[in-house]
Chains A and B, each alone.
Chain A
């Protein structure tokens, strides 16, 4: 079957691209390996709408986040939780930044911050600075429902779930994508928006992989106590933690730099030890969904909660609810400055094959450029 546009991956970037293409009148197909859209990275992350505070070592990433922040909140405000107190703090020990540097960074990036007493949130001596900031969290389920609603209104857009791409072939002026089960689709414009699977798709195409490392990550969802409920707290910049509202779910997400990644792989394709006992649903060539996998790791709750408890005043309590697992690709170049660039790579034109890799929700607008000029 022939389409004007084929998008691999029904995460936020995939569905956003589908709406843009469909809006231009292109017959668009979205191929999703899982049973439903938004089953992996778009849902399984800290759900942060970045303003830039997170990148005190990369002013460029911070500025870009800030620029897109308002636009995202305007476009998708219905799924954004903005009425909580968001605290950033710099750890007294081991931090790559300190209170003076962090304030200078905020001023340079032109993002708002207001110093507050660290003792209001943290145990004595743990943090040397705390700031009230403007940062929000999005609700992936609400965002998904909104996008699906929009897509349903446009008969040119079609989403196929349970359609894992297993082979890609370039034949003449088009790419033909074969899915598990044998169905084949072709188009002269393909967008690879598969995030953690980006190199797996490129391998089918024989293209060079992105230089990434993979981390199998755990996001812990917890019930925040009374004092923490309307607050989000992130300790910077090093082996620390973040506990903040998880969209509008009423739960908080808990993550830590040290304990959120359970397994790390530096090879071009995501091979993990757990794949040998997952029952064949996941291989380095075709990544399964970690969250529904029987072989997913045991929770690191004792570690993450203890780390947070070490910093937070005892009044700011929380209890375990559940865990979410997914694989996160990290560009190797970003280790030193911890930047999170959005990388868009055009592998061919006529027929067109484009890959996008981004770890942030609000930089989705970077896609517009490649989608409009086709």
Chain B
């Protein structure tokens, strides 16, 4: 790595770094200083875009104190708390780099040099490269990835990531695929371009977990939108019900032939069986329609911003 700052050795590609900020005044300053150092050591031109997801503590003040005048920095102020997905989408929309780094957390549990490793791996032919901590994550997130990877219709398996780099081509591709992007990771994994990752051993710092509520909502939404989970579940339940009605239909006929039931019982039972059979068949069709519709139109999830501030 070039630490001397020789212009000839620096990367000519323009990179953007989008950083998600949500009430993390303790770490935001150090993170941005470290990030700015890595980028200015290695790139001729770059920009940092901070997305302020309605921070209520001193995070933004810490960011302003950490960023010197010579680093081109913009802050996107979200109007109200909208969660990392909407906020990061806003930041990426503003980024102009040939390559765009996404940092969803300002906790740096990796060596800053990893940022360049990830970038260099991208240069070897990957449109999307992520950095993933080695080892086991939280139980809830392990369960999510297990379910997701089992049922999702995406090209690559998902796993917990710290940050990633995207090529402009990947961003354009993602925009061309869908107008709204409810879960970036899933769209990236299914955009058809080459995706790579680098695993690293975690250092001390704990991951920030301040976006909890939105995260859970996102997990459920993603499972419904990107996986067959809901549809398969409904399909199996309906099949079981249909089988049960068929069984009762058969049982009614058998009772009518072998024993002599109370008058009217057979007609009632046959009507009920036939009626439920028809109902469940219609339900199957409706569920199929619904699953097709969710595939066609993702839930509208546009963001609202308050303004863009250039530092």
Contact = CB atoms under 8 A, between A and B. Distances in A.
B75 to A, nearest CB: 12
B97 interface: yes
A258 interface: yes
A45 to B, nearest CB: 21
A94 B93 contact: yes
B88 to A, nearest CB: 13
Contact of B14 (A239, A258, A306): A306
A306 B97 contact: yes
Given A303-B45, A306-B14, A310-B168, A124 B94 contact: no
A94 B49 CA distance: 14
A307 interface: yes
A94 B94 CA distance: 8
A123 interface: yes
A302 B14 contact: yes
Interface in A300-317: 302-303, 306-307, 309-310
A204 interface: no
A303 B46 CA distance: 8
Given A258-B310, A302-B45, A123 B172 contact: yes
Contacts of B229: none
A196 to B, nearest CB: 21
B47 to A, nearest CB: 7
Interface string A97-138: 000000000000000000000000001111000000000000
Interface centre among A125, A126, A239 (most CB of B within 10 A): A125
The secondary-structure label for the interface of chain A is: loop
Interface string B151-174: 000000000000000001000100
Contacts of B287: none
Interface in B119-175: 168, 172, 175
A162 to B, nearest CB: 34
B165 to A, nearest CB: 16
A96 to B, nearest CB: 10
A2 B176 CA distance: 69
B290 interface: no
Contacts of B82: none
Q: Which of B44, B72, B96, B175 has the most CB of A within 10 A?
A: B96
Contacts of B94: 93-94, 239
Nearest to B44: A302
Nearest to B92: A93
B98 interface: yes
A239 B95 CA distance: 11
B308 interface: yes
B96 A303 contact: yes
B40 interface: no
Nearest to A307: B96
Interface of A: 93-94, 123-126, 238-239, 258, 302-303, 306-307, 309-310
28 contacts: A93-B90, A93-B93, A93-B94, A94-B93, A94-B305, A123-B175, A125-B172, A125-B175, A125-B176, A125-B179, A126-B175, A238-B308, A239-B74, A239-B94, A239-B308, A258-B74, A258-B310, A302-B14, A302-B44, A303-B45, A303-B47, A303-B72, A303-B96, A306-B14, A306-B98, A309-B96, A310-B96, A310-B168
Interface of B: 14, 44-45, 47, 72, 74, 90, 93-94, 96-98, 168, 172, 175-176, 179, 305, 308, 310
